[in-house]
Amino acid sequence: MKFTRKLFTSTLALAALSTLLPAQAQDTVKVGVLHSLSGTMAISETSLRDVLLFTFDEINAKGGVLGKKIEPVVVDGASNWPLFAEKAKQLLEQDKVAVTFGCWTSVSRKSVLPVFESNKGLLFYPVQYEGEEMSPNIIYTAEAVGQQATPAVDYLLEKGYKKFYLLGSDYVYPQTTNLVLLEYLLSKGVPLENIGGGFKKDESGKIISAGKYTPFGHTDYQQIVSEIKQYAAGGDTCVVSTLNGDTNVPFFKEYAAAGLTAETCPVVSFSISEDEFRGLPAKQLVGQLGCWTYFQSIKSPANEKFIADFQAWLAKSDVPGIVKEGRVTCSPMVLSYVGVYLWKAAVEKAGTFEVEKVIAELEKGISFDGPGGTVTSQKNHHVTKNVFIGETKADGQFKILKTYDNVFGEPFLKGTFKSK
């Protein structure tokens, strides 16, 4: 008897809930988060999920977007590129998300690109990449080559370096970046023999690959370091590194053991941010250079507030398995954060969540004052932002050496520099 009554009340409660739910759903807008939360890329991409959830909470606390609370739909790409496309499809067709924030590797972006284009979705992509792409359905808050590699080279040229050794991991981002850099260096009057690492040419003699490449997980850098040592013997030499992830550890250990230092031959790395630093031996990297559109060490009220709010959010977060100790902020995280606010501003200007109208607003140019300074969306789906050159310190932070303000994001750089 008692039991049936209990059952009765709970059914009633359920019925009440189910009538309530649709009403509630109208007050939320679904937003997709598409990152690898397992597999090799999880180390880097989980941080982006964290910062996105933080941003949604921050916006929801202030009333949401167009009066609607953001309801995140988090899916795991599992470092598996075909799976990224499937998950993207699920987000767009089943969950009908208004916008998706996600992807880290270029190959994952390339695999979801057709899905977003055929479903007329909207993706915000936050990580430095090689350019040569402009999808009507993707907004690239990421650093284009002209917002990372070429300013870094400008800085080195300004400091009097004359020889450049190109080194990278063997995949599309380093290969393309180095080809653009080769053209850029030649256009700045650096002769071909002062660009090290070797060239590959096709039958017609055109250079199709510049620099030295090692596979992921390569451990033996003896030969390459001894080559750099000989190359740098004449002085005024620097290394431009697009080595990815943990191959930096054996490289920098060997580099230090060969007696090469930041004073004799500095290395500028495009893939080491504050977040990667957590797994690298700091001592061997001190004095080496980095170039990003954000550093945690930027001294501005906006950045200090961002860091403090993020840490406070982390401390009381109940996301399962979230890492709370030793967290830092880095450029891909801030570009994810900025992406959400750019989308929010565009939606509010358009007065609707409709993808086409939101993109039209973004193309007209929307500005947001982020932790790294003002960013402005451009007609070509890239973002104008400040670029910083920094030097690594023993505590894993960067000392900012130089700032280039409001650098335009241009994806198509290959072939635009004319050699002298």
Q: Which residues bind other proteins (CB under 8 A)?
A: 42-43, 159, 163, 170, 193, 198, 212-215, 217-220, 222-224, 226, 229-230, 233-236, 246, 249-250, 253-254, 256-259, 262-263, 266, 278-284, 287, 289, 323, 391, 393, 399, 401-402
Query: Measured from the CB of residue 261, what is the shortest distance to other proteins in angstroms?
Result: 9
* Closest CB to other proteins among residues 106, 209: 209
Query: Measured from the CB of residue 87, what is the shortest distance to other proteins in angstroms?
Result: 21
Query: Measured from the CB of residue 88, what is the shortest distance to other proteins in angstroms?
Result: 25
Q: Nearest-CA neighbor of 266 among 159, 168, 344, 370?
A: 159
* Closest CB to other proteins among residues 74, 258: 258
* Closest CB to other proteins among residues 37, 73: 37
For residue 340, the SS3 value is helix
Cα 311 to chain centroid, rounded: 20
How many CB atoms are closer than 10 A to CB 325? Answer: 5
Whole-number Å distance between alpha carbons of 405 and 293 = 10
Strands 383-392 and 289-292: antiparallel
Torsion, CA 323, CA 327, CA 329, CA 331, rounded to 10: -60
* Closest CB to other proteins among residues 89, 229: 229
For residue 241, the SS3 value is strand
Query: Measured from the CB of residue 190, what is the shortest distance to other proteins in angstroms?
Result: 13
- How many alpha carbons lie under 13 Å from residue 340 in its C-beta half-sphere? 28
Torsion, CA 5, CA 6, CA 7, CA 9, rounded to 10: 90
Query: Measured from the CB of residue 418, what is the shortest distance to other proteins in angstroms?
Result: 23
Pair of tokens at residue 91: 């987000």
How many CB atoms are closer than 10 A to CB 206? Answer: 7
Whole-number Å distance between alpha carbons of 196 and 232 = 10
Q: Is 93 left (phi over 0), alpha (psi -120 to 50) or beta?
A: alpha
Query: Measured from the CB of residue 279, what is the shortest distance to other proteins in angstroms?
Result: 4
* Closest CB to other proteins among residues 50, 254: 254
* Closest CB to other proteins among residues 59, 401: 401
CB 297 within 8 A of CB 158: no
Whole-number Å distance between alpha carbons of 418 and 420 = 6
* Closest CB to other proteins among residues 162, 414: 162
Query: Measured from the CB of residue 286, what is the shortest distance to other proteins in angstroms?
Result: 9
* Closest CB to other proteins among residues 6, 399: 399
* Closest CB to other proteins among residues 15, 257: 257
Whole-number Å distance between alpha carbons of 29 and 14 = 23
Query: Measured from the CB of residue 78, what is the shortest distance to other proteins in angstroms?
Result: 14
Q: Nearest-CA neighbor of 278 among 329, 322, 220?
A: 329
Q: Nearest-CA neighbor of 101 among 342, 406, 273?
A: 342
Query: Measured from the CB of residue 163, what is the shortest distance to other proteins in angstroms?
Result: 8
